[in-house]
Amino acid sequence: MVSRAVVIGPARYAVDSGIDSHPPIGESARMYGEVFAGDEMWGTDCCRVLTEDEVQTADAVMRALQEAADETGPDDIFLVVYVGHGQYWSDVPGAQVHFSVGSSYRDKPWTWLSSWYVYRVMRKARARLKVLIADCCYSNLLPQLGEEPVLPGVLGALDEGTCVFTAVKNANFASADGCSALPGNFSKCTPFSGHLLRILQDGTKDHNHQLTIGLLREAVKKEMENCTGAQHQVPRMSLNDARDGTPLFTNQMELKKRDPVPQLPVEPADWVKTLMMDRDSRLDELLKDERKTGDVVALLSSRPDEASRHLARHIDVRANQAFNSPHAFARYWNQVEKALRV
């Protein structure tokens, strides 16, 4: 396995650039390297934190990304972490988020790294799961790329295995230093990265031994919502796809401190909650009940958000494979149809 992680964190900018140098960016990048190295699923060889020289230019960042992408194979994960300043110009061709590099100037779009290039290298990587964790201004606009409907196209077709996990904010984080509620070096990181890193280092109470992007997202969201240090904007996952059941990190929490394995959900709404967090871990159990599966797909299809509808389609594909007798399929489809008619 040659999964690769690349961490990009330009913290320093020219004095006359109009961009604030922001030490928490550099500290976050360093801590990603440290925390990934301590995770047996990654270790020191798989993670590359770009040096200050490398984050100086878009060219050097892209070279490093391309190199890492080329090393991944079809069983691997390609993880890109960007911590820095984001910018969004609506008056440049194909308006999109731009990432700052060390040589960027505030009002010179051509000195920034277009997120399209980052997406392109990710999309073309052979890795089966590609994840972008973005902690920057305007990261909430990251999926706003290209034509409608934007989401699935951003990183390639949905089943190419891609997902974006971002801090949601459209304001510069220069005003907020770290989160004072976090211990040690985590408090010197940006709030989003600080909370995320703390969870990666200490684990979560979830019973699973490994963290999928869904579990990680839930844990970060919960912790930031309940944080006593500050009122945080809560992160979200912009894009989710078929392979988010792939384990990404080790759950470092001791077994005895974790919650017991939860009971099987009963109500469709409980199933939805469970599957939104980890779409595959209990899906086989749901598929034992055709009617219930139909209820869950119907409920998901009725919800307005894109993630619910993605999940509905995913379950529907599995249901079509699983219910190969006409009677079983009819039991499933009756429930879906009944709900759709209402």
Residues of this chain that interact with Zn ion (CB under 5 A) are 179, 181, 227, 229
> Whole-angstrom Cα distance, residue 319 to residue 41?
32
Closest separation between CB of residue 199 and Zn ion, Å?
12
Q: Which is nearer to Zn ion, 18 or 183 (CB)?
A: 183
Q: Which is nearer to Zn ion, 189 or 227 (CB)?
A: 227
What's 156's DSSP letter?
B
Query: What are the phi and psi torsion angles at 51 (to 5°)?
Result: -75, 170
Assess contact for 297 and 315: CB atoms under 8 A. Answer: yes
Closest separation between CB of residue 192 and Zn ion, Å?
9
First to last CA, the chain: 49
Cα Rg, the chain, nearest whole Å: 21
Count of beta carbons in the 10 Å neighbourhood of residue 133: 25
Closest separation between CB of residue 13 and Zn ion, Å?
26
Closest separation between CB of residue 318 and Zn ion, Å?
38
Q: Which is nearer to Zn ion, 179 or 286 (CB)?
A: 179
Q: Which helix (H) or strand (E) holds 249?
A: strand 249-250
Q: Which is nearer to Zn ion, 80 or 179 (CB)?
A: 179
Q: Which is nearer to Zn ion, 232 or 318 (CB)?
A: 232
Closest separation between CB of residue 203 and Zn ion, Å?
18
By CB atoms closer than 10 A (0-12, 13-18, 19+), residue 241 is buried
Q: Which is nearer to Zn ion, 181 or 220 (CB)?
A: 181
Closest separation between CB of residue 185 and Zn ion, Å?
14
Q: Which is nearer to Zn ion, 44 or 180 (CB)?
A: 180
Closest separation between CB of residue 206 and Zn ion, Å?
20
Closest separation between CB of residue 230 and Zn ion, Å?
5
**Strand ranges (DSSP E) for 85-234?**
86-88, 97-99, 113-114, 129-136, 162-166, 210-211
> Whole-angstrom Cα distance, residue 55 to residue 8?
7
Q: Which helix (H) or strand (E) holds 141?
A: none
Residues in the chain: 342
Q: Which is nearer to Zn ion, 58 or 200 (CB)?
A: 200
3-state DSSP assignment of residue 210? strand
SS in 3 state form for 38-96?
CCCCCHHHHEEECCCCHHHCHHHHHHHHHHHHHHCCCCCEEEEEEEECEEECCCCCCCC
